[in-house]
Amino acid sequence: MLKIMHRIIEMTGKYKWRIRSSYITAFLKGVMMKIPLVLCFLCISRFMRGKMDTTGCIVFGVIALASVLLEAVFEHISNVLQSATGYMVFADMRLRLGDHLRKLPMGYFTEGNIGKVSSVLATDMIFIEENCMGVMSELVTFIISQALMTGMMFVMDIRLGLLSLLIVSVFILIGNLMLKTTLKHSVIKQEDCESLTEEVLDFAEGIGIIKSYNMLGERSGKLRDEFEKSCRESIDFEVAYGPWARALYLTFGIGTALMLALCAFLFKTGRISDEYMVGMALFLFDMFVSIKSYYGQMARLTVTDASLNRIEEVFNAEELKDDGQQKFDTAGSGSGTAEIVYDNVSFAYTDKEVLKNVSFEVKQGEMTALVGPSGGGKSTIASLLARFWDIKNGRILIKGKNIKEVPLGSLMDQISMVFQRIYLFQDTVYNNIAIGRPDATRAEVENAAKKARCYDFIMQLPNGFDTVIGEGGASLSGGEQQRISIARCILKDAPIVVLDEATASVDADNERAIQEAISELCRDKTLLVIAHRLKTIKDADQILVVSDGKITERGDHSSLMEQNGMYAHMVSLQAS
């Protein structure tokens, strides 16, 4: 228990002084809690000896009232110190997590970790913030109170003190055995929570596909199984915890009875006075309340321990290194010179090699198209340019600089990316476009929208640019979402554009507007295009055929058609 408490305190970082300060108020609160009992004992003792007078009653009353008031004050200070600290700690932690997540390679989010991240944010942090931070000083209060009660027994009689110490030792033994059991089940319980979150997210994101293939029964069954599994584990947790909790209550009852029996025996044999017997009656039922309450927090703290493990696991995920100091030449490399260079680039997702010694150049102001069969490595080549992952071997250069040796922020300033899968945030249209350059003026945002051919339909929305669109752009058509995403890139005005052919999956009505928007975006830019419809890249300066992680053909449209290889075969297939 103390190790878990120490771990929670260490997690608070720069705020740990507040938690430690609350220990002082917790100690004082613990003392104030016991003063009324001591006063009662002293008061009764004086009455029994016939020494109580009016002045004594007033003094005892004032001290009792003061102790109660001070206990309330110390409890308030303790709550302010620790509960407020919990909210501050996790506010900072959520910000740090956001900063950490943006520095992770994209592979982290494609390896089944979305459920883990969601559980950390929606379950683990909230649980610790609301359930644990507020009890830290209480646990210290329980320890202090129990120490005071045990010490008081030694003052009354050494035999009472020894029996009290023995019963406390039994509590500690049972508590430690309970700790081992609940820690084991807490880890399983949190893993089930993560699995359930993953399944819920998967079900919600895929609801359209599930309905269209009439798989509601099957997929609902899987979701139901996860809920039932989570329910079973929660019940198993309580079943495992229950016997130990009952053992604590039995120890409390039996210990109290033994203390009473020993006290009665000592009183009968004349070894303690009638005053001490009355005092024992006062203290008896408060004797082991503190340690029972202390171990009553066991389940909460073991779940906290498992939650901390998962939080640390997410924070320990390795970030992309961002210690580069090189700077790009703002003047550019000059027309006709190599703006992008892939030099013997190899890359693997975990153990699966995807690219093998890929080398090519893209000259400034020219267009290079990547074509080839699905899974050949086209999208991977484009993603590596923005350091969504780091390469295994080789180098990628932009304007002569190795992209690993420049800050990530500077790298992303050089690149605009437009993919088929668009994501718009649940925010105003204006803010969704302004993401491209947050310091842009409203006139610049509106001008970018005009160039992207989306100004007219935006002005037809209920509040124009201030209309809030649904999460993921759900309230707009696919073509409208695509044009807003292109407006972002136009506003950003980066010298390099990576384009996953944006018209491949839109209707004919939107295709012309999107093509015009892309023409505005690509004017005077260096283009790296992932091509799906080959007729759109006939005028490309360079076409690379990517298959099985290698560049198998390269050249312009005419030369590749003369080679009569894979490219010519693909053109023939699309034409037919």
Per-residue pLDDT tens for 77-120? 887 777 778 788 888 889 999 889 888 887 777 666 777 888 88
State the chain's mean pLDDT as an integer.
Answer: 82
Backbone angles phi, psi at 82, to 5 degrees: -95, -45
Given a cut of 80, whether residue 449 has pLDDT beyond it is yes
Given a cut of 70, whether residue 332 has pLDDT beyond it is no
pLDDT of residue 348: 85
pLDDT of residue 111: 65
pTM of the model: 0.66
Distances (CA, A) of 246 to 170, 199, 242, 292: 14, 36, 6, 11
pLDDT of residue 165: 92
pLDDT of residue 157: 83
pLDDT of residue 389: 85
User: In sequence order, which residues have a C-beta less than 8 Å from that of residue 128 and are 6 or more positions away?
Assistant: 8, 86, 90, 304, 307, 308
User: In sequence order, which residues have a C-beta less than 8 Å from that of residue 311 and are 6 or more positions away?
Assistant: 93, 120, 124, 125
Report how far apart the first and last C-alpha atoms of the chain are (Å, whole number): 73
Q: How many Å apart are CA 198 and CA 476, to the nearest integer? A: 27
Whether the Cβ atoms of residue 522 and residue 497 lie closer than 8 Å to each other: yes
Question: Predicted confidence band at 239 (pLDDT cuts at 50, 70, 90)?
Answer: confident
Which string of b and e fits 474-506 if b means at least 16 CB within 10 Å? eebeebbbbbbbbbbbbbbebbbbbbbbbbeeb
Backbone angles phi, psi at 408, to 5 degrees: -60, -40
The residues spanned by each domain of the chain are 2-315, 320-414+528-576
Domain 2-315 top-level CATH class: mainly alpha
Query: 149-176: per-residue pLDDT in tens?
Result: 888 888 878 888 899 999 999 998 988 8
The stretch 129-142 carries a mean pLDDT of 74
Question: Predicted confidence band at 379 (pLDDT cuts at 50, 70, 90)?
Answer: confident
pLDDT of residue 341: 92
Q: Which two tokens stand for residue 296?
A: 């009553």
468: which DSSP letter?
Answer: B
pLDDT higher at 231 or 337: 231
- CATH for 320-414+528-576 is 3.40.50.300
* pLDDT over 90, % of the chain: 7
The stretch 449-474 carries a mean pLDDT of 83
pLDDT of residue 342: 92
pLDDT higher at 215 or 319: 319
* pLDDT over 70, % of the chain: 92
Query: 476-535: per-residue pLDDT in tens?
Result: 877 888 888 888 888 888 888 888 765 555 555 666 777 777 777 788 888 888 887 787
